[in-house]
Amino acid sequence: MLFKGSMPALVTPFRAGKVDEKAFAALVERQIAAGTHGLVVCGTTGEASTLSHEEHQAVVELCVKTAAGRVPVIAGAGSNSTDEAISLLQHAKAVGAHAALVVNPYYNRPTQEGVYAHYKTLTEAVQLPIFLYNVPGRTGSDMQPELIGRLSKLPNVIGIKDASADLNRIARHTALAGKDFIQISGEDGTAVGFNAQGGVGCISVTANVAPYQCAAMQEATLRGDYAEARRLNDTLARLHRAMFLEASPAPAKYALSLLGLCSDEVRLPLVTVQSADVRKEIEAAMKEAGVL
């Protein structure tokens, strides 16, 4: 299977307001060296919502170029505008991304039928594998399992990033979409349990900071060694929590800045980690995970 294991939702490094392409390429190389199974670029953690179209395209292209086929690249291509999502999909396909991650349309809160029509239009417009992305806490709407089953029948819809944190859905998705439908967790804290229920990986924030540990944990689940997976997850649990003590990806960028890998700069309306207590907790969590 091409899409499995630890797949970090990569941050987009900034320096003086501009995308730091040198730092980004170095982060990609670090991930591959750590045994990461795939890369997700220009998603929520990559601050896609504040990238210009030109920046978005440049970062996707840089990721594909740097990875150079060593691991699959999944390009963020979601929008609450169907036409804009088509444009992002066209670019991702043109530069050689292996798949696209398309979020449930946000803000305008379409009905389940509207969501179906959105994805159906995308699959008809661009021939590129698509992962659905259900994250109700950010979009304001929830893709129900019955809708997932319908969407799975569309050409090119190959799986889902599920950030609903509802582990009961995994078996339901399998029943409705089939055993070949690829289910990826979007929640670090429940990733081990997600795989135990039938998932095959995690699109991870924590993996930005602890790529070796996250890759090893995912490898353990994939070979059925859940005792080892739980042991590794125990060392990461504090870091999972720390990554969301302030608005993501500010904590992840602060952690990466401590490692000298990029600036902690984020774009408004996000701000860098403000609380001294949160900074101390991130540092302590990194030490507990063995990365600092």
237-288 pLDDT per residue, tens: 999 999 999 999 999 999 999 999 999 999 999 999 999 999 999 999 999 9
pLDDT higher than 90, residue 178? yes
Q: For residue 282, is it within any domain? A: no
97 contacts 74 by C-beta, under 8 angstroms: yes
Q: What is the CATH number of the domain that holds 96?
A: 3.20.20.70
Q: For residue 261, is it within any domain? A: no
Q: For residue 222, is it within any domain? A: yes
Single out the residue of 76, 141, 138, 86 nearest to residue 109, CA to CA: 141
pLDDT higher than 90, residue 1? no
Q: For residue 287, is it within any domain? A: no
Question: What three-state secondary structure class fits 238?
Answer: helix
Marked catalytic residue, from 119, 133, 212, 254: 133
What is the token pair recorded at 202?
């995690």
Q: What is the mean pLDDT of the chain?
A: 97
Active site residue 133: yes
Residues 6+ apart with CB under 8 A from 243: 188, 205, 206, 209, 249, 251, 252, 255
The pTM of this model reads 0.97
Q: C-alpha distances in angstroms, 81 versus 23, 183, 275?
A: 31, 25, 36
CA 155, CA 140: separation in Å to the nearest integer?
26
Give the residue numbers spanning the domain of 109.
Answer: 5-232
Domain count for the chain: 1
Q: What's the mean pLDDT in 216-228?
A: 98
Q: For residue 185, is it within any domain? A: yes
According to DSSP, the β-strands at 18-19 and 14-15 are antiparallel
133 contacts 104 by C-beta, under 8 angstroms: yes
What is the token pair recorded at 126?
């661009």
pLDDT higher than 90, residue 236? yes
Active site residue 93: no
Please tell me what DSSP assigns to residue 11.
Answer: -
Neighbours of 175 (CB within 10 A): 11
Single out the residue of 263, 262, 261, 256 nearest to residue 239, CA to CA: 256
Helices (H), the chain: 21-33, 53-67, 82-95, 112-125, 136-139, 145-152, 169-177, 191-196, 211-222, 226-242, 250-258, 276-289
Q: What's the mean pLDDT in 52-76?
A: 98
Marked catalytic residue, from 161, 212, 253, 254: 161
Q: For residue 217, is it within any domain? A: yes
Q: For residue 267, is it within any domain? A: no
Q: For residue 247, is it within any domain? A: no
Single out the residue of 216, 175, 222 nearest to residue 194, CA to CA: 222
58 contacts 99 by C-beta, under 8 angstroms: no
Length in residues, the chain: 292
| Residue corresponding to tokens 């730091």 | 20
